[in-house]
Structure 1
């Protein structure tokens, strides 16, 4: 049973030591809530939450969501899962378990407590889309047996579980489909395009583009993304999602490389490598639902966000020396 005696909420964030999770926790603590940060530190890092340990309303718990958990909370944000290809392909079976068993365990906890729960899903549920931009009503074009399937299909199955718990048990759920997000606290070796390009530029290496660079992405700054998650969780029970959260400003990978060269002041050249299997050719969210249901849209421009992100990675490089 969720606690009823205090207006301050006790909130569980799984994957809380990760990139997005740690920023979300910052906002929740700033809002006066108590936060339990759950993470097994596979891709999350204590550096992302070091500044929080003196906060009496913050608690860190090292735990793997594939195992059951028994705590008393009022809300759950389920963000636990490696999200970059380098990390989720390292142990693909465990990645699927994290998405599926993790969802089952967190939904079971929410059912016992009768509390609201949010699932951090992903734009990868759309696969290599044949519809552009991608709206929530699109069912996707996903390879179920490819090297990315552990993540894509794991997240799709998690969404299925969330909606079945909602229909079968009346659980109050929220599902956010997160598109490419960037900002400070990204892991410097996560293999994502923004971190890859910035690290290559800052270390004087050439910037590697896979394929011809004409594939498109849209990049949302982490502060905007967190605002979207908070607004979705705050909505009444009729708004379940899934809701796309991302920046609809589409850009080619080649254009992104030039933005990063400019932001870093680097003299890096552009080189090309073979495109990975099942890499989407286009990825851009239709955020009409987020605008109408959440009154949300991204506010931070790409250049402003990259400036803050580059500063973060400069500091990371200093700490690695």
Structure 2
């Protein structure tokens, strides 16, 4: 880490609004850093790099309106000077990660959120938390509206992530109602795009990674489970609009175009031109059978809906993965792709 030069704010910060983005070196966090730098904010990125990759944000280090703190938000968080906004995106977000580091997953959702809400209160800053469609668990309702309370197993293999996010929503709303902190809650559905990790256990990078390495593509169950995939640029736009809105209740942001895992696998085979076959394995415990957002609120309140179709987004994402070195692909073990159809 010696090559990373952390910068700290000077006393004269100018007129730029200042935003803290946690999980800044992650997939979504890095795209959010790009967006707010582009909007001429002073962006403070924070990440302990337990799952993030500094390469995702190193292009920003040369900019005077970007700084980076290598810090774990589960510990006390101090930011000098004024702060206008906080985006809390620090959390393991894939099955591979939260099964390997379950305690850290719970701590960043609970202690980390508590620390940042305290910071938001102290700085009089508006805070948006990244929740997830996983709060709905294995849903009995499809599509899932924000009013649906979910069907979650708190002690199952996914419980450390699902319950961390459900607690995160609860404490955020408590700070909003009891302390008057301005808060926003985004429930993120399956998102994809450049900077995803090939070894994070989620369905899209798993399929593409297997195709690029010439391996058979693994589908769990019979492939009838459904997912809906939102391209990252669309998601970032939705998050931006929610942050700037005056709505404090949870809002689904995702693409309602639903597809089965088997159909999606076939799309990846066609996209990549692989000749490998589909192999089926036992469905993991608590794997959601359906996942599709009801985005009525996002349409009504934010004027938002996804613009980028799956064919276009997948082509961009595939080109990104193809650009990775062959050495990087070879280092990723096959077992990393056999966890969940998330």
In the superposition, the TM-score normalised over structure 1's length comes to 0.96
What is the Cα deviation at residue 6 of structure 1? Answer: 5.2
Farther off after superposition, 193-202 or 5-14? 5-14
* Counterparts of 2:249 and 2:316, CA distance in 1: 30
* Counterparts of 1:295 and 1:319, CA distance in 2: 43
**Aligned pairs (5 A) from 1:19-168:** 19-71=27-79, 72=81, 73-168=83-178
What is the Cα deviation at residue 7 of structure 1? Answer: 4.3
* Counterparts of 1:312 and 1:25, CA distance in 2: 19
What is the Cα deviation at residue 188 of structure 1? Answer: 1.3
What is the Cα deviation at residue 319 of structure 1? Answer: 5.9
**Aligned pairs (5 A) from 1:223-242:** 223-236=233-246, 239-242=247-250
Equivalent residue in structure 1 for 2:305, among 297, 306, 311:
297
Farther off after superposition, 264-273 or 169-178? 264-273
* Counterparts of 2:267 and 2:172, CA distance in 1: 38
Structure-2 residue corresponding to 1:186: 196
Equivalent residue in structure 2 for 1:253, among 229, 248, 261:
261
* Counterparts of 1:274 and 1:141, CA distance in 2: 21
* Counterparts of 1:301 and 1:122, CA distance in 2: 21
For 1:264-289, what per-residue CA distance to the aligned partner results, in whole angstroms no more than 9, with x for missing partners?
12112100011111000001000000
Equivalent residue in structure 2 for 1:285, among 280, 293, 312:
293
In the superposition, the TM-score normalised over structure 2's length comes to 0.91
For 1:79-124, what per-residue CA distance to the aligned partner results, in whole angstroms no more than 9, with x for missing partners?
0000000101112121111101111000000010011000000000
Equivalent residue in structure 2 for 1:210, among 209, 220, 223:
220
Summarize the Cα distance change of 1:51–1:60 in structure 2 as closer, same or farther, 3 Å threshold. same
Structure 1, unmatched stretches of 5+, are none
What is the Cα deviation at residue 261 of structure 1? Answer: 1.1
Residue 243 (1) aligns with residue 251 (2): yes
Moved over 4 A (4+): none
Number of corresponding residues: 317
* Counterparts of 1:289 and 1:317, CA distance in 2: 41
Q: CA RMSD in A?
A: 1.4
What is the Cα deviation at residue 241 of structure 1? Answer: 2.5
* Counterparts of 2:60 and 2:242, CA distance in 1: 25
* Counterparts of 2:165 and 2:67, CA distance in 1: 27
